[in-house]
A and B are shown apart, each in its own frame.
Chain A
Amino acid sequence: MPYLKCRNALCIACLLLAACQRQHRDIRPSPTRLAIYGDAAKEDALRPGGRVNSQPVVNNPYNASAYDISEGQRLYNWYNCSGCHFNGGGGIGPPLIKKHWIYGGEPANLFDTIVKGRPNGMPAWGGRIPEYQVWQIVAYVRSMNGEQPRSATAARLDTIQTNPQTIVNRTTGPTK
């Protein structure tokens, strides 16, 4: 019996400790990560971000962090990524749920693509979106492709449905 009790206690301790690990909320970005805008990946001048010579030099600090992936999901809509890429399926811009990336699909490549922009329409967001938020968006875009742990991936947004805000029942205003 003491053996059983001991084992139960150990199991519970393991579960509790595992829970401690899952969500670390780094809500206050470290100042060094605020504005670097250097190259996250070394690129070939002829094939920017191409798979041949693309060597990531920086890792995403927010990899596998549930909080930062959900923040990335919010920012994806706030900064209107969804305006061109829609909810990952693509439309005006290319889809983001895919295997073959034109400019590389590693986190560092995605970072460079967002910060520097790419030909045929992708704007350069460097100096427009704080660097830590770019990394959060990168983490979210990677999660669309299942490249983040399932336990950290955010649920699909509720907003993919009609919104009654467009049906405004306007009544008499203050000047009447």
Chain B
Amino acid sequence: MKRAPTVTRFLAAAAQLVLTGCIYNKQSAVNPAGPQAGRIDTLWWSFFWLLGVIFIIVMILTLLTLRRPRRDFDQQRIETTHKASEETDSRLRRIITGATILTIVILFVLIVASSVVGKQNSEFSTAPNQLTVQVTGNQWWWQIEYLNSDPSQVLVTANEIHVPVGRPVQIRGLSNDVIHSFWVPNLNGKRDLIPSRVTTQWIQADHAGEFRGQCAEFCGLQHAHMAVWVIAEPEDKFLAWYKAQLQPAAKPSTPEQQRGQQVFLNYECVYCHAIQGTPASGQNGPDLTHFGSRRGIAANTLPNTTGNLAGWILDPQSVKPGNHMATVPVSSTDLHPLVEYLESLK
């Protein structure tokens, strides 16, 4: 095979790196978007530079000792008697003691720094405008519930969290089956979601943006396909989204959509999924009231498009082997109206 010229190959590699950078900025601990992640970022870079410099110094000293024999040690005496002279002995003792003390001091400083950051990040916010979002881990999707003292304001959705910029958000973590871990690197560190326990975490986005999170504790076959998007928006946009999501599902407007709704209600779907405003009220799977407004299906395994949705309904096991969505034999004449109806639930 003929190889491409070096310059072309170099440019291709560089382009790839830049593109990767673009994508992973949305899920990156070194691209902080809030005060919590900012502290973790500072901690990470101070570790990196301090330990990097020490590593380089140690490597240089090691290489120097390999190159240059120590002439000031009386080598011969050591080799014949296995005992160093008084002077060499005390010198070695001084050097080793000094190095040990220095190591202990550096490690101690690092420990203090990391526990200070941990303490600051887990501090409860006392801001009056804070928001509480309950995240429940399931195999393999996230249930999102905006808690409120007024029951009519409680919002249930899945796999997507919208937050207002500049407001502290408490993530109240639960799990329905095994241990999961909620991790949105741009906003904060990991926090495990443990069955029968409540864990809390605080996040705050300082600017608008989209941040991808991922389950960070191995939780079974489809652990890798368990993603969540956190979408930070300005206050007014967030409130508009919240108001729209609180509404019951849109009524089917075309005959095709009406048929789709009947298909949904007559098939097995209703035993696991809920659509507010219809009799469907299953609690085992994600709430589909505003399914059409979400960006992904199957916990963001696939983008939410008509084709992907049809494939997912017909054969979920080929998309996400082992997942708990039932394989339902939907006839070909029912599938199209069903997909049409679900996509209309904006």
Residues of chain A touching chain B, judged by Cβ–Cβ distance below 8 Å, are 25, 27-29, 31, 34-35, 74, 78-79, 128-130, 132-133, 158, 161, 163-165, 168-176
The reply on B318 being an interface residue by CB < 8 A is yes
Instruction: Check A158/B195 contact, CB under 8 A, given A28-B317, A173-B131, A176-B129.
Output: yes
Chain B interface mostly: loop
Instruction: Check A130/B328 contact, CB under 8 A, given A25-B322, A163-B196, A165-B174.
Output: yes
Query: Which of A78, A158, A171, A175 lies in contact with B153, CB distance below 8 A?
Result: A175
Contact A128 B128 (CB under 8 A): no
Instruction: Check A128/B196 contact, CB under 8 A, given A34-B327, A171-B132.
Output: no
19 contacts between A and B (CB under 8 A): A28-B315, A29-B317, A34-B328, A128-B271, A129-B271, A130-B328, A164-B174, A170-B132, A170-B148, A171-B130, A171-B132, A172-B128, A172-B132, A172-B149, A173-B148, A174-B131, A174-B148, A174-B164, A175-B150
**B172 contacts across to A, CB distance below 8 A:** 169
A163 to B195, CA, bound (A): 9
**B129 contacts across to A, CB distance below 8 A:** 172, 176
A161 to B197, CA, bound (A): 12
Task: Please name the residue on chain A nearest to B195 by beta carbon.
Answer: A158
The reply on B94 being an interface residue by CB < 8 A is no
Task: Please name the residue on chain A nearest to B200 by beta carbon.
Answer: A169
**A161 contacts across to B, CB distance below 8 A:** 196
Q: Chain A nearest CB: distance from B171 CB in Å?
A: 12
**A170 contacts across to B, CB distance below 8 A:** 132, 147-149
The reply on B324 being an interface residue by CB < 8 A is yes
**A174 contacts across to B, CB distance below 8 A:** 131, 146, 148, 153, 164, 238-239, 242
**A35 contacts across to B, CB distance below 8 A:** 329
Contact A28 B198 (CB under 8 A): no
The reply on B284 being an interface residue by CB < 8 A is yes
Query: Which of A25, A78, A132, A173 lies in contact with B147, CB distance below 8 A?
Result: A173
Task: Please name the residue on chain A nearest to B284 by beta carbon.
Answer: A78
A124 to B153, CA, bound (A): 37
How many residues of B are counted as interface, with CB atoms below 8 angstroms from the partner's CB atoms?
37
Residues of chain B touching chain A, judged by Cβ–Cβ distance below 8 Å, are 128-132, 146-150, 153-154, 164, 170, 172, 174, 195-198, 238-239, 242, 268, 271-272, 284, 315, 317-318, 321-322, 324, 326-329
A59 to B131, CA, bound (A): 54
A164 to B164, CA, bound (A): 28
Chain A interface mostly: loop
Q: Chain B nearest CB: distance from A10 CB in Å?
A: 33
Q: Chain A nearest CB: distance from B262 CB in Å?
A: 14
A172 to B154, CA, bound (A): 11
Query: Which of A25, A130, A163 lies in contact with B326, CB distance below 8 A?
Result: A130
Contact B327 A130 (CB under 8 A): yes
**B321 contacts across to A, CB distance below 8 A:** 27-28
Task: Please name the residue on chain A nearest to B321 by beta carbon.
Answer: A27
A176 to B150, CA, bound (A): 11
Q: Chain A nearest CB: distance from B127 CB in Å?
A: 10
Q: Chain B nearest CB: distance from A20 CB in Å?
A: 19
A104 to B322, CA, bound (A): 32
Contact B268 A129 (CB under 8 A): yes
A74 to B317, CA, bound (A): 17
Query: Which of A128, A163, A165, A171 lies in contact with B170, CB distance below 8 A?
Result: A171
Contact A78 B149 (CB under 8 A): no
Contact A164 B131 (CB under 8 A): no
